[in-house]
């Protein structure tokens, strides 16, 4: 939802002024606490060393369009005002600063919030570039008002005040927004991921970044500010996007605080220190941008590789595993189950009279039937079951750690789910479909996958000979014709 509803759009205007006390209170408290934290980073002079409130508010509005309402923004404004008054700022200056903050947030949110979801999540490089451009726009808009406040408080020219506000705001946006925009939803926080080998390998570059940041703060020289850059690039190439964003935020925040505390000898006289700090702020902003671009490019590369691997392992029509992948993964699963002495069932399913559907209605209609059958099968299987397409209209499954009764029950659920289908064909007519299912059960997983598939295949043909739309179960080790169930 945009801030401005379409002309004549009564519903949009209603949403714009919608009232949610809980949302208003949460945003107001969030802005108040962030503004207090920022105000406490004023060691000397006017501008806070690190001002998180605007970036947090902008990130929240981008991630949750539901909050882009006038009343929520009013709550945010009250949070800014309350924080300023608590910190002892003059009332008229509090109003000016609040307006400057909101102008920048609104400008950024309107521009960046209109992008595609992938770009807003920074999962593509163009999203990071868009973040830079939109952050520049928001910082410039805020500086139009904020420059007046800086000029009044410091005696600097309006342009110097605008430039100072722009640079400080930009580095805050580029430091904090990537963390907010890439942060996983709370539902993905628990259970925490296991510390696998890849995660352990990531600890080293993270440790190097922290050490490099500490050294940059201890060595009182302007060049020391770029000490962490190689380590940040290393992290961008090895860590997930969200983890890289957190490290970039840590670097940017501590560097800006170090600048305000005078930990870096800028090598300039007091008369030009303001301009020098503005330039350094811009430098820190660009340094923060570099690792994020690299991390985004690396994230997109990994995503494309995973997509290609999935295409190679999954049938493009039904999204079931390909025959080769099914046999490979199934064989490995049976080896593991044999070591556990756990029971296994292998199912083979074949669509009844499928050739007639292709011959009468055409292959596009047959494809629709296969897609519907695969979807119905998925509704009946359990998590951890292996599902593949091993022939034209033939599917197979490996059910690990099941009893004979459970395997038969799963097969029956599949048969009924498919029998309840009414597939709309290319011609517009409805097509009923049934499947014949063969189940091979092995109590100790002593057989190989090929043997189990062959046995289940014979059971499936027994079901077809018995009249189709049936399930036949047989046990491994019984060569005779399997009994029908």
> What is the fold, at CATH topology level, of the domain defined by 323-475?
Alpha-Beta Plaits (3.30.70)
**Residues 400-436: pLDDT tens digits?**
999 999 999 999 999 999 999 888 888 888 899 999 9
Domain ranges of the chain: 10-185+194-311, 323-475
Predicted confidence (pLDDT) at residue 367 exceeds the cutoff of 80: yes
Name the burial class of residue 290, with classes exposed (0-12), middle (13-18) and buried (19+) by CB atoms within 10 angstroms of its CB: middle
Contact 350, 460 (CB under 8 A): yes
- Distance between CA atoms of residues 78 and 84, nearest Å: 10
Which pair of structure tokens corresponds to residue 81? 């005002």
Query: Of the candidates 131, 211, 213, which has an alpha carbon nearest to the alpha carbon of residue 175?
Result: 131
pLDDT-wise least confident of 55-59, 200-204, 349-353: 200-204
**Residues 142-191: pLDDT tens digits?**
999 988 888 887 777 888 889 888 988 888 898 889 999 998 776 554 55
**Residues 296-346: pLDDT tens digits?**
888 888 888 888 888 889 998 999 999 999 999 999 999 999 888 899 999
pLDDT-wise least confident of 160-169, 249-258, 370-379: 249-258
> Cα–Cα–Cα angle for 271, 272, 275, nearest 5°?
145
- Distance between CA atoms of residues 233 and 435, nearest Å: 55
Q: Give the distance between the most distant pair of CA atoms in the chain.
A: 99
């Amino acid at each position: 939802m945009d801030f401005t509803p379409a002309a004549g759009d009564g519903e949009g205007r209603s949403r714009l002024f919608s009232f949610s006390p809980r949302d208003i209170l949460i945003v107001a408290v969030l802005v108040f606490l962030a503004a207090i934290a920022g105000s406490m980073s004023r060691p000397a002079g006017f501008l806070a060393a690190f001002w998180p409130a605007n970036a947090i508010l902008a990130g929240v509005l981008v991630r949750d369009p539901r909050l882009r309402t006038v009343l929520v923004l009013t709550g945010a404004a009250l949070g800014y005002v309350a924080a300023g008054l608590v910190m002892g700022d003059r009332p008229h200056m509090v109003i000016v600063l609040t307006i400057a903050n909101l102008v920048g947030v609104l400008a950024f949110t309107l521009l960046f919030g209109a992008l595609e979801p992938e770009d807003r999540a920074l999962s593509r490089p163009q999203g990071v570039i868009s973040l830079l451009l939109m952050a520049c726009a928001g910082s410039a808009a805020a500086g139009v008002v904020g420059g007046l406040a800086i000029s009044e408080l410091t005696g600097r020219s309006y342009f110097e005040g605008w430039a100072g506000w722009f640079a400080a705001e930009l580095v805050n946006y580029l430091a904090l927004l990537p963390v907010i925009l890439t942060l996983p939803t709370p539902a993905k926080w628990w259970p925490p991921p296991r510390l696998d080998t890849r995660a352990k390998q990531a600890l080293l570059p993270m440790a190097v970044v922290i050490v490099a940041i500490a050294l940059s703060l201890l060595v009182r020289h302007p060049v020391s500010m770029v000490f962490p850059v190689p380590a940040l690039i290393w992290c961008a190439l090895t860590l997930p996007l969200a983890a890289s964003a957190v490290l970039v935020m840590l670097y940017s925040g501590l560097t800006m605080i170090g600048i305000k505390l005078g930990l870096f000898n800028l090598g300039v006289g007091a008369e030009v220190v303001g301009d020098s700090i503005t330039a350094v702020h811009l430098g820190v902003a660009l340094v923060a941008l570099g690792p994020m671009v690299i991390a985004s490019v690396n994230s997109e590369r990994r995503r494309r590789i995973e997509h290609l691997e999935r295409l190679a392992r999954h049938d493009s029509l039904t999204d079931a595993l390909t025959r080769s992948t099914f046999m490979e993964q199934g064989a490995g699963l049976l080896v593991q189950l044999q070591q556990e002495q756990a029971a296994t069932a292998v199912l083979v399913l074949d669509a009844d009279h499928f050739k007639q559907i292709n011959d009468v209605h055409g292959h596009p209609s047959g494809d629709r039937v296969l897609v519907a059958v695969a979807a119905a099968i998925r509704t009946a299987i359990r998590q951890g079951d292996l599902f593949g397409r091993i022939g034209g209209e033939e599917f197979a499954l490996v059910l690990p750690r099941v009893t004979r009764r459970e395997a038969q029950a799963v097969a029956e659920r599949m048969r009924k789910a498919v029998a309840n289908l009414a597939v709309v064909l290319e011609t517009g007519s409805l097509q009923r479909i049934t499947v014949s299912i063969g189940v091979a059960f092995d109590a100790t997983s002593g057989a190989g996958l090929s043997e189990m598939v062959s046995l289940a295949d014979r059971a499936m043909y027994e079901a077809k000979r018995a009249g189709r739309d049936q399930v036949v179960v047989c046990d491994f080790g019984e060569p005779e014709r399997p009994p029908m169930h």
